[in-house]
Amino acid sequence: MSKVETLRGPVDTTALGKVLIHEHIFLMDMEYTYNYRPDFFEDQTIADAAARLNALKASGVDTIIDLTVLGLGRHVPSLAKVAPLTDLNIVISTGAYTFDAVPGPFAFHGPGLLLDGPEPMVDLFVRDITEGVGGTALKAGELKCAIDMQGLRPGVERIMRAVARANVLTGVPITVHTTPQAETGLIAQRVLSEEGVNLEDVTIGHCGDSKDIDYLMRLADKGSLLGMDRFGVEFAITMEERVATIAEMVRRGYVGSLALSHDCCAWSDFFPKVSDYHAAMPRHHYLHIHDDVIPALREADLSERDLDTMFIDNPRRHFESAARHFSER
Ligand SMILES: [Zn+2]
- Which residue in 134, 124, 121, 199 sits closest to 160, CA to CA? 121
pLDDT at residue 46 in the model: 97
**pLDDT, mean of residues 98-110:** 95
For helices 154-170 and 184-194, angle between their N-to-C axes, nearest 10 degrees: 50
> Measured in angstroms, how far is the CA atom of residue 114 from the centroid of ligand 1?
32
> Measured in angstroms, how far is the CA atom of residue 23 from the centroid of ligand 1?
6
> Measured in angstroms, how far is the CA atom of residue 230 from the centroid of ligand 1?
8
> Measured in angstroms, how far is the CA atom of residue 24 from the centroid of ligand 1?
6
> Measured in angstroms, how far is the CA atom of residue 198 from the centroid of ligand 1?
22
| Domains of the chain in sequence order | 3-327 (3.20.20.140)
The mean pLDDT of the chain is 97
pLDDT at residue 83 in the model: 96
Render pLDDT for 189-247 as a digit per residue (tens, 0 to 9).
999 999 999 999 999 999 999 999 999 999 999 999 999 999 999 988 999 999 999 99
pLDDT at residue 1 in the model: 77
Distance, in Å, from the CA atom of 21 to the CA atom of 317, rounded to the nearest integer, reads 12
> Measured in angstroms, how far is the CA atom of residue 329 from the centroid of ligand 1?
30
User: Are 188 and 161 a contacting pair, CB within 8 Å?
Assistant: no
- Helical ranges in 171-238 per DSSP H: 184-194, 213-221
pLDDT at residue 235 in the model: 83
On the 0-12 / 13-18 / 19+ scale of CB atoms within 10 A, 31 is exposed
Distance, in Å, from the CA atom of 267 to the CA atom of 269, rounded to the nearest integer, reads 7
> Measured in angstroms, how far is the CA atom of residue 263 from the centroid of ligand 1?
5
> Measured in angstroms, how far is the CA atom of residue 264 from the centroid of ligand 1?
7
Bridge partners, 95 (sequence order): 144
Distance, in Å, from the CA atom of 255 to the CA atom of 34, rounded to the nearest integer, reads 43
pLDDT at residue 60 in the model: 98
- Helical ranges in 136-238 per DSSP H: 154-170, 184-194, 213-221
pLDDT at residue 139 in the model: 98
Banded pLDDT at 104 (limits 50, 70, 90) = very high
Q: What is the largest CA-CA distance in the chain?
A: 59
pLDDT at residue 111 in the model: 93
> Measured in angstroms, how far is the CA atom of residue 94 from the centroid of ligand 1?
13
Render pLDDT for 129-149 as a digit per residue (tens, 0 to 9).
999 999 899 999 999 999 999
**pLDDT, mean of residues 310-319:** 98
Distance, in Å, from the CA atom of 233 to the CA atom of 167, rounded to the nearest integer, reads 30
> Measured in angstroms, how far is the CA atom of residue 217 from the centroid of ligand 1?
22
> Measured in angstroms, how far is the CA atom of residue 104 from the centroid of ligand 1?
21
> Measured in angstroms, how far is the CA atom of residue 175 from the centroid of ligand 1?
10
Distance, in Å, from the CA atom of 256 to the CA atom of 225, rounded to the nearest integer, reads 8
pLDDT at residue 236 in the model: 84
> Measured in angstroms, how far is the CA atom of residue 115 from the centroid of ligand 1?
32
- In 98-220, at which residue ranges do the beta strands (DSSP E only) sit? 140-147, 174-178, 202-205
> Measured in angstroms, how far is the CA atom of residue 289 from the centroid of ligand 1?
16
DSSP H or E run through 91: strand 89-95
